[in-house]
Structure 1
Amino acid sequence: MTGRSAAAKTAVGPMVVAAVEHLEPAHRRLVDDDLAVSFLPGPLRALVALSRNEAVRRALVAGSERQGPGLWTSIACRKRLIDERLSDPLTEVDAVVVLGAGLDTRGCRIARHSDLPVFEVDLPVNVARKAAVLQRALGGIPASVHLVPVDVEHDDLMTALRSAGYDSAARTFFIAEGLLQYLQPQTVTALLSQLSGAPGSRLVFTYIRQDFLDGSDTYGAEAVYRRFRGRQPVWRSGLVPEDLGEWLAELGWRLDEQAGPSYFRDLYIRPTGRALTASPIEWTALAHR
């Protein structure tokens, strides 16, 4: 299985996390996404319905913890962080570009209260699936949401975006959530360096630590390492937190902040009172032009 074909199949898992988290009482939620369940395929909508029972929710989280300690929490927290930064009153942008959008609901949630254009980029197979999901769940694609089929490892991203109506001079909020690890390192570098946008554009992305990727520290997540870095590696790119600022500067971006497990623990997990930890293998970074 290639990285691209694997990435095409990873759109569902994070949305299950978001949908189940939405069933938690408001004060215990890690992320709030009321559309997530409606974007899932039928069998998983049924699973989420069963998760209205607290014991079922606990079992789902526990099962996830056995496979990848802290990944459930990290996925939920990264979604919340991106939502918060995007909705921050100080974030003044003219467009949003979501790279590797999958079944993400962010564009549709924005469309409820704004005509801010959102361009959702993904592999053609995922874009076709997303279009069908939007037709089923919402009766169609919101006018402000533009689905852009692109294979970023082989196609010209900016040309495809402009063809979809994107203004490359617009102040843009670029999002690459759960994407970069599936790309070749040279593709990651080329992708982030070509993202244009006026001064004031923002970039938020998640990444896997390089030391996990090369196996020098698996952080107690040996099953995850075997799954994604085994005989046929699915995760192909990693980054070093300590080197990120210098690396981004070479690509034309300035690092603002990074969020790892302690960040999520202090800001999101502790207030819920839940006995959860975030994974140390995935981090979220925010930068600006």
Structure 2
Amino acid sequence: MTPPNPAAQTAFGPMVLAAIEHNEPPQRRLVDDDLAASFLPAGLRTLVAATRVGALRRAVIAASERSGPGLWASLACRKRYIDERLSDPVTEIDAVVVLGAGMDTRAYRIARHSDMAVFEVDQRLNTDRKTAVVRRVLGAVPPSVHLVAVDFERDELMPALAAHGYNTSARTFFIWEGVTQYLAPEAVRATLGQLAAAAPGSRLVFTYVRQDFIEGTERYGAEAVYRRFRVRSQLWKTGLVPEQVGDLLAEYGWRLVEQAGPSYYRDTYIHPAGRALAASPLEWVVLAER
């Protein structure tokens, strides 16, 4: 029997959120993902279907807010931010690499209208599970999508990608969403070291949890989240300091373009959607380029 893998099990949470957001009226959605619900197990699909009823949807969001104030909006908005940067007309790329892909649907939304190569990288447990899910939903994995099994704590990323047809000369959009906090600091740096081989013109978007939350000196109102990820399980291992992110990236040949957090999400996504939500300062998203 395969031993339980707590980190791998977290792959479903963000997609439940995206699927529930898709039940909002279009003008009120913080993120738009019409595949999210179909990628979930049957029990979670039933939960998502129930949230088509507005009162139940609001109750689910309110429960999330009680356990982690602002995290619902932050997770939804980070997905929206990444989707927009990926589809920005000025982003000229040849390939997409999704690091820690989990149940993310981007590769399959891209495959609807493009044959650009997309590489989904994750632990073997998740790549096997993802393959089965995609076959159930779409019938087969699209030819342009490549699932690559990598353990970020032990394996080298670039050789694994190359073994699946990745060309290191390709201008690549790397997405590293909701992953860095689950890795040891050495694994975060090792992955950045691998990404130092990326071609000029490549872009990197990643998210991180603040270091002061990991250390426990600032909880940002998310006491339940701290107990779950730092006290009971210690699944979250790494945090970063916003003012030091640019220097960290520069060590590996990347230039910081921007960081986005709660005020950006509020002004760009939440207020225009007419939503009475706040975003958490706990997690930030970064855009960098080579």
Q: Which residue of 2 aligns with 1:269?
A: 270
Q: Which residue of 1 aligns with 2:145?
A: 145
Q: Which residue of 2 aligns with 1:67?
A: 67
- Contact 1:193–1:252 (8 Å) recurs in 2: no
Deviating 4+ runs (over 3 angstroms): none
SS of structure 1 residue aligned to 2:64:
helix
SS of structure 1 residue aligned to 2:9:
coil
Q: Which residue of 1 aligns with 2:216?
A: 215
TM-superposed deviation, 1:5: 2.9
Distance 2:175 2:233 in 1: 27
TM-superposed deviation, 1:254: 0.5
Q: Which residue of 1 aligns with 2:16?
A: 16
Distance 2:186 2:260 in 1: 24
SS of structure 1 residue aligned to 2:216:
coil
- Contact 2:211–2:240 (8 Å) recurs in 1: yes
TM-superposed deviation, 1:197: 2.1
User: Percentage identity across aligned positions?
Assistant: 67
Q: Which residue of 1 aligns with 2:237?
A: 236
Mean alpha-carbon deviation: is it higher for 226-235 or for 144-153? Answer: 226-235
TM-superposed deviation, 1:231: 4.3
Distance 1:268 1:50 in 2: 25
TM-superposed deviation, 1:194: 1.2
Q: Which residue of 1 aligns with 2:99?
A: 99
Pairwise CA RMSD: 1.0
Distance 1:142 1:231 in 2: 39
TM-superposed deviation, 1:247: 1.3
Distance 2:36 2:232 in 1: 33
Q: TM-score with structure 2 length normalisation?
A: 0.97
Counting only pairs closer than 5 Å after superposition, residues 28-39 of structure 1 correspond to structure 2 as 28-39=28-39
Mean alpha-carbon deviation: is it higher for 246-255 or for 109-118? Answer: 246-255
Q: Over residues 120-179 of structure 1, what are the superposed CA-to-partner deviations in whole Å (9 max), with x where a residue is unaligned?
A: 000000000000000100001011110001111111211110000000111000010000
- Contact 1:260–1:284 (8 Å) recurs in 2: yes
Q: Which residue of 2 aligns with 1:7?
A: 7
- Contact 1:36–1:105 (8 Å) recurs in 2: yes
Distance 2:129 2:258 in 1: 34
Q: Which residue of 2 aligns with 1:281?
A: 282
Distance 1:129 1:68 in 2: 28
Q: Over residues 80-125 of structure 1, what are the superposed CA-to-partner deviations in whole Å (9 max), with x where a residue is unaligned?
A: 0000000001000110000000000000000000011000000000
Distance 2:112 2:192 in 1: 29
Q: Which residue of 1 aligns with 2:109?
A: 109
Unaligned runs of 5+ in 1: none
Mean alpha-carbon deviation: is it higher for 118-127 or for 221-230? Answer: 221-230
Does 2:168 match 1:168?
A: yes
Does 2:186 match 1:186?
A: yes
Paired amino acid for 2:262: P
- Contact 2:208–2:240 (8 Å) recurs in 1: yes
- Contact 2:156–2:194 (8 Å) recurs in 1: no
- Contact 1:67–1:224 (8 Å) recurs in 2: yes
- Contact 2:73–2:279 (8 Å) recurs in 1: yes
Distance 1:248 1:114 in 2: 30
SS of structure 2 residue aligned to 1:136:
helix
SS of structure 1 residue aligned to 2:166:
coil
SS of structure 2 residue aligned to 1:271:
coil
Q: Which residue of 1 aligns with 2:88?
A: 88
Distance 1:121 1:83 in 2: 18
Distance 1:152 1:122 in 2: 8
- Contact 1:7–1:179 (8 Å) recurs in 2: no
Distance 1:180 1:272 in 2: 29
Q: TM-score with structure 1 length normalisation?
A: 0.97
SS of structure 1 residue aligned to 2:237:
coil
Mean alpha-carbon deviation: is it higher for 97-106 or for 65-74? Answer: 65-74
Q: Which residue of 1 aligns with 2:256?
A: 255
Distance 1:127 1:166 in 2: 17
Q: Over residues 170-207 of structure 1, what are the superposed CA-to-partner deviations in whole Å (9 max), with x where a residue is unaligned?
A: 10000100000000001101101211221110000000
Paired amino acid for 2:98: V
Distance 1:192 1:83 in 2: 22
